[in-house]
A and B are shown apart, each in its own frame.
Chain A
Amino acid sequence: MLDYILRRFVYTLITIFAVATILFIIFRMLPGEPTMQVISPAMDPAVQERMREAFGLNEPVWKQYMIYMKNLATLEWGRSFVSAQEVTDILGHRFWNTILLMAAGMCMTLVLGIGMGIIMAWRRNGPVDLIGTVVGLIFQAAPPFITGLLLLMVLSYRLGMFPTGGMYAPGARPDGVLDLLMTADFWHRLVLPTLTVGMYYISTPMLIMRDSMLEVLGSDYIELARAKGLKSRVIMMRHAARNALLGVVTISGIMIGFAVGGQVVVESLFSWPGMGQLMVESAAQHDYPVAQGTFLMLAILVISLNFLTDVLYSYLDPRIKITAKGLS
């Protein structure tokens, strides 16, 4: 097992190295110059050169790459071209904002999605199954900017039940994440973005769970459980649902990873200062250090979640063992 984990760890490092290299190349291939963002093109060419020097952009690309990789290895991710703040500080700040939003959204998605999937499979072809499938597909087809905007228009603008956005009331900055979590205002503000995220993603675990459950419910051991006279609830939850969860677990790791970086629209709509917004801002501003850091952090998150998914597999399905050669 340890051998397997070590092997995976090495693979992970290689993948991260490859992603970091690709990111470096991609951002330098973008049309336009980073200095255009932070200094007016009308300024003296000598001043523009001065800015390039300050950012290290006057160095040859290969040298920039070497510095970048060295900094990456030493966790010195540099400073933003735009704000001059340390990239790690910026990422740390924005990351938790997104994590709070996504944790709520994913909790809603997974708890409701899995629950609904179980019920829909158990009551296959009934009205719950039909309505659940149709509603799930509608939610998935509706982009978050539509559902979010509708929620805002009805529940916030018209009925005034929720604030229009932000993580806290202007001027009421809490002292740290714990303090933030203790305020009722934060939870109040979290409702609409959570609903928007939840509605968009819910169909994925719900329909996968439903399909997995249907497959499992046709298995011999379920028949045997029924023959033993076990209660329906016990069969559904203990025997069917646990085995059917595997598919959801697989997709959840990837879904959560992408969800962390993919909430540009929700974050813009609800003025939520998270990673998605940062990603767009930094890429548009050619703020290489921040843009590279943001994408790299997301890549690391997805790779790590994949690894965790593999480990979880062995826990959820005792038939699967981790061997030196991998999963078997």
Chain B
Amino acid sequence: MTNDTMNRRAFLQRTGAAGAALAASTAVPAFASAGQPVESMSVLTANASFDPVRPEMGRLITQAAKGIGWDIKLAAEDYNLGIGKVFKEQDFDMFIVRWTGRANRIDPETFIRMQHHKDGAYNKWGYDNARINELSDAQQVAMVAEERQALVHEAQALLHEDAVRSPIVYPSMTNAYREDRLEGVVPMLGEGIGSFWTDINVSVKHGDGYVRTGQTSPLKNLNPVSATDSNEFKELRMIYDRLAQVDPTGKVVPWAATAINIVDDTTVDIVLRDGMKFHDGMPVTIDDVIFSFDYCTKWKAPFFISSLEKFESVSKTGANSLRIKLSAPHAPLMINFFCSFFILPQHIWKDIPEKAGIDDVLNFANENPIGSGPFKFDYWDRGKELKVSANMDHFSPPKCAGIIRVTYGSHDAMAAAIEAGECDRTRYILKPALVQDLNKINGVVGAGYASHGFYDLGYNVRRGPLADKAFRKAMDMIIPRDVIRDVIMSGYAENGGSVIAPANKFWHNSAVKSRPTNVKAARDVLAAAGYSWNDDGKLLYPG
């Protein structure tokens, strides 16, 4: 048996082991090219106008790949085009994306099952590992948190070992606010000071009492049935109450419901708070909650329908209580549904869309939203600003007079407005370099706040060398994470390792560490896997 044969066999075994269940076809290109130079590939990212950070990361990674003799190119494209290539067509080699730290992503469902189960909605990498499939299915129905945690920890370790993707860095939520104007900002995991908890706890030291909150993307929609974008949820949750909320540390806490009791794996009892009123003075009743479930089911509310479809029945059990029977246990329901779902006033929505003269509620603009939340809608000047005022009749009344959400044309314009005292705080991310600059100004705090989101280099494991676990591991080892963290992210980040960030303390597996950058070690991994280099230093397939 020659060395070549052995190498080929070793490679065959390794690619097979990368997931017993990696589709057989994914390994074929590697063998077809045995002994040949590894083909050039590309790293797809959003362009700098969408996110200045991503192309910079991509450039560093393409540069670093030269260290292992692999030629890769950067393809910085329009964000939506890139998303289409990855999610619709799966036409990509590698893809840099930012998974933002939305509240619903604190639950491990998104980062474990949706992204790695063979049928996961976000699994566009072609990854298929039997054990991961089992673990992600099991965690979804594990209603006891500690049991679920153990499954999630095991999945993280296995995903890291498989190097199915490379979390690059865990970026902080880089925010800024005027401390000479505001008092009582409450940073929240994944949302920083743009959080709901800041909205209701912040007070204004002087002036009209309104918190002028800046964001660079315009508000798109105020329809709580059709909204799918986190930007809209951030504004809608001020106007509409939800049954529960995610607290600043990521735990679920009661809100409009005083209790959400898991009776058994498929039964949930909900008790609604007494004395709540909608902004038009009408009482909030348990019938409104049941109506909201039915209404969103009937109209297939895009964000909620997958959870609502798990409801077998909803029955009123008392003047202020109801029982939900699920068709199967579903652990993510608490954060993904109860902390997101908006209570609609039945007396208004029962006539929509007919009364609005349209045939589909998804086409309803909801120009004058009436909810029961801590803020009442004042006006929305499209493209410019949204103004809401404190609802002092709410069970948790805000400490400020209201919130004015102002749309700025760019990060620089928003930073300038904060510096000039025209804007009090940022709602979402501000470029790290600007945060650093703002922090030097008297009366302004620029800081990074913990987040469970991450920047990620995803591999299309159907293609060429990316089907090989050893190859992906080597790639993971050449990513210059320290440089990315310190230079590109201006220090507002941590090096990436597991797909569940350390900030998400309960679910993160602390045994999963970031691989240190080490090009020599990466070459050793490749050599051990049978790869070699030609005289020009180009990487060759095993064989």
Q: Which residues 379-408 in B have Cβ within 8 Å of A in the complex?
A: 379, 381-385, 387, 404, 406-408
**Given A171-B404, A173-B387, are A85 and B365 also a contact pair (CB < 8 Å)?**
yes
For the complex, is B311 an interface residue (Cβ under 8 Å from A)? no
Q: Contact at B228–A38, with CB atoms within 8 Å?
A: yes
B300 at the interface (CB under 8 A from A): yes
Whether the pair A170, B84 counts as a contact (CB closer than 8 A) is: no
Nearest neighbor of B309 in chain A, beta-carbon distance? A44
> How many angstroms between the C-alpha atoms of A149 and B409 in the bound complex?
12
A268→B409 contact, CB < 8 A: yes
A50 adjacent to B78 (CB under 8 Å): no
Binds A, one of B145-153, B238-246, B411-419, B505-513: B411-419
Give A269 to B412 CA distance when docked, in angstroms.
9
A43 at the interface (CB under 8 A from B): yes
Contact A170 B406 (CB under 8 A): yes
> Which among B80, B212, B302, B407 is the interface contact of A47 at CB below 8 angstroms?
B302
B410 and A268: CB pair below 8 A?
yes
- Total A-B pairs in contact (CB under 8 Å)? 148
Q: How far is the CB of A180 from chain B (nearest CB, A)?
A: 11
A196 contacts B by Cβ under 8 Å: no
- Interface flag for B114 (CB, 8 Å): yes
CB-based nearest A residue for B110: A42
For chain A, the count of residues having a C-beta within 8 Å of the partner chain is 54
Is B407 in contact with A84, judged by CB distance below 8 angstroms? no
- Excluding A31-B81, A94-B382, A277-B383, 18 further A-B contacts by CB distance (< 8 Å) are A39-B302, A41-B88, A43-B228, A43-B306, A47-B300, A47-B302, A47-B306, A51-B302, A54-B363, A83-B365, A84-B364, A164-B422, A170-B212, A170-B404, A170-B423, A171-B212, A267-B409, A270-B409
Given contacts A32-B81, A41-B88, A284-B80, contact A167 B384 (CB under 8 A): yes
The residues in B between 222 and 240 inclusive whose CB is less than 8 angstroms from any CB of A are 223, 226, 228-229
A43, B304: Cα distance in complex, Å: 10
Q: Can you give 20 A-B contacts (C-beta < 8 A)?
A: A39-B302, A41-B88, A47-B302, A83-B365, A84-B223, A84-B366, A160-B420, A164-B422, A165-B408, A165-B416, A169-B422, A170-B210, A170-B423, A171-B212, A171-B385, A173-B384, A173-B385, A268-B409, A273-B407, A278-B383
| B122 contacts A by Cβ under 8 Å | yes
Chain A residues within an 8 Å CB radius of B221: 82-84
Contact of A170 among B306, B382, B422 (CB under 8 A): B422
* Contact A281-B218, Cβ < 8 Å, known A41-B87, A173-B387: yes
Q: In residues 70-114 of chain A, which contact B (Cβ within 8 Å)?
A: 79, 82-86, 90, 93-94, 97
> For B300, what are the chain A residues with a Cβ–Cβ distance below 8 Å?
46-47, 50
Cβ contact within 8 Å between A165 and B220: no
A residues near B303, Cβ cutoff 8 Å: 43
How many whole Å from A295's CB to the nearest CB in chain B? 17
**Chain B residues whose C-beta falls within 8 Å of the C-beta of A173 in the assembled complex:** 379, 381, 384-385, 387
A37 sits at the interface (CB 8 A)? yes
A40 on interface, CB distance cutoff 8 Å: yes
- Determine the chain A residues whose CB is within 8 A of the CB of B229 once the complex forms: 38
**Given contacts A32-B80, A164-B416, A85 and B382 within 8 Å (CB-CB):** yes
Complex contacts, A167 vs chain B, CB 8 Å: 384
Residue B445, interface by CB 8 Å: no
Please tell me if B121 contacts chain A, counting CB pairs below 8 Å.
Answer: yes
From B114, B122, B226, A84 is in contact (CB under 8 Å) with B226
| Most interface-central of A32, A43, A79, A82 (chain B CB within 10 A) | A32
* A166 at the binding interface (Cβ < 8 Å): yes
Q: Is A4 an interface residue (CB 8 A)?
A: no
Bound Cα distance A78, B358 (Å): 11
**What A residues does B87 contact at CB under 8 A?**
36, 41-42
Q: Is the CB of A82 within 8 A of B363?
A: no
By beta carbon, the residue of chain B nearest A34 is: B80
In the assembled complex, which residues on chain B have CB atoms less than 8 Å from the CB atom of A171?
208, 210, 212, 385, 387, 404
Is A215 part of the contact surface with B, judged by Cβ < 8 Å?
no
B84 touches A31 (CB 8 A): yes
Q: Is A210 an interface residue (CB 8 A)?
A: no
> Is the CB–CB distance between B385 and A170 below 8 Å?
yes
Complex Cα distance, B420 from A109, in Å, reads 29
Supposing A32-B80, A41-B87, A90-B382 touch, asked if A164 and B417 sit within 8 A by C-beta, the answer is yes
Known contacts A165-B408, A269-B413; A79/B363 CB under 8 A:
yes
Docked complex Cα distance between A311 and B171 (Å): 60
Residues of B within 8 A of A268 (CB): 409-410, 413
- Distance A83 CA – B419 CA, assembled complex (angstroms): 31
Nearest residue (CB) in A for B367 is: A85
B486 in the interface, Cβ–Cβ < 8 Å? no
Closest A-B pairs by Cβ, 7 of them: A273-B383, A41-B87, A268-B409, A42-B121, A54-B362, A84-B365, A271-B409
**Across the interface, do A33 and B363 meet the contact criterion of CB distance under 8 Å?**
no
> Looking at the complex, which one of A79, A156, A281 makes contact with B365 (CB distance below 8 Å)?
A79
Q: Is B305 an interface residue (CB 8 A)?
A: yes
| CB of A152 closer than 8 Å to a CB of B | yes
Q: Which range holds the interface residue count of chain B?
A: 35 or more
User: Which of A42, A156, A278 makes the CB contact (< 8 A) with B122?
Assistant: A42
Which residues on the A side are within 8 Å of B138 (C-beta)? none
A269→B384 contact, CB < 8 A: no
Which residue from A40, A84, A152, A169 sits with its C-beta under 8 Å from B363?
A84
- Chain B residues proximal to chain A, CB less than 8 Å: 78, 80-81, 83-84, 87-88, 114, 121-122, 208, 210, 212, 218, 220-221, 223, 226, 228-229, 300, 302-303, 305-306, 358, 360, 362-367, 379, 381-385, 387, 404, 406-410, 413, 416-417, 419-420, 422-423
- A156→B410 contact, CB < 8 A: no
A272 CA to B406 CA, complexed, in Å: 11
- Inter-chain CA distance A87–B255, complex, in Å, is 37
Q: Which among A54, A270, A285 has the greatest number of chain B C-beta atoms within 10 A?
A: A54
In the complex, what's the smallest C-beta–C-beta distance from A34 to chain B, in angstroms? 9
User: A42-B121, A267-B409 are known contacts. Are A166 and B384 too (CB-CB below 8 A)?
Assistant: yes
Taking the closest CB of chain B, its distance from the CB of A181, in whole angstroms, is 16
Q: Please, which residues of chain A bring their CB within 8 A of the CB of B406?
A: 166, 170, 271
Best-buried of B212, B303, B362, B366 by chain A (most CB within 10 Å): B362
Contact across chains for B302 and A43 when beta carbons are under 8 A apart: yes
**Shortest beta-carbon distance, A210 to chain B, in Å?**
35
Known contacts A38-B228, A79-B363, A173-B381, A50 near B302 by CB under 8 Å: yes
Complex Cα distance, B406 from A171, in Å, reads 9
Q: Does chain B have a CB within 8 A of A11?
A: no
Nearest-CB distance from B81 to chain A (Å)?
5
Give chain B nearest CB distance to A269 CB in angstroms. Answer: 6
Whether A286 contacts B416 by the Cβ 8 Å rule is no
Q: Does A315 contact B (CB under 8 A)?
A: no
* Minimum distance in angstroms from A45 CB to a CB of chain B: 9
- Chain A positions within 8 Å of B78 at CB level: 32, 284
Across the interface, which residues of A come within 8 angstroms of B408, CB to CB? Answer: 165, 271
CB distance from A84 to the nearest CB of B (A): 4
Q: Across the interface, do A163 and B420 meet the contact criterion of CB distance under 8 Å? A: yes
A173 to B218 Cα, complex, angstroms: 17
Q: A157 near B: Cβ within 8 Å?
A: yes
User: How far is A272 from B383 in the complex, measured between Cα atoms in Å?
Assistant: 8
- Cα–Cα distance between A36 and B422 once the two chains are bound (Å): 34
Q: Most chain-A CB neighbours within 10 Å: which of B208, B410, B413?
A: B413
Q: Which residues of A contact B212 (CB under 8 A)?
A: 170-171
Residue of A41, A90, A156 with highest tally of chain B CB at under 10 A: A41
Cβ distance A319 to chain B, nearest Cβ, rounded Å: 47
Q: Are B420 and A36 within 8 A (Cβ)?
A: no
Asked if A54 meets B360 with Cβ closer than 8 Å, knowing A79-B365, A171-B208, the reply is yes
Known: A31-B81, A83-B365. A165 touches B384 (CB 8 A): no
Q: How far apart are the CA atoms of A280 and B511 in the complex, in Å?
A: 46
Taking the nearest CB of chain A, how far is it from the CB of B231, in angstroms?
Answer: 11
Residue of B nearest to A265 (CB): B409
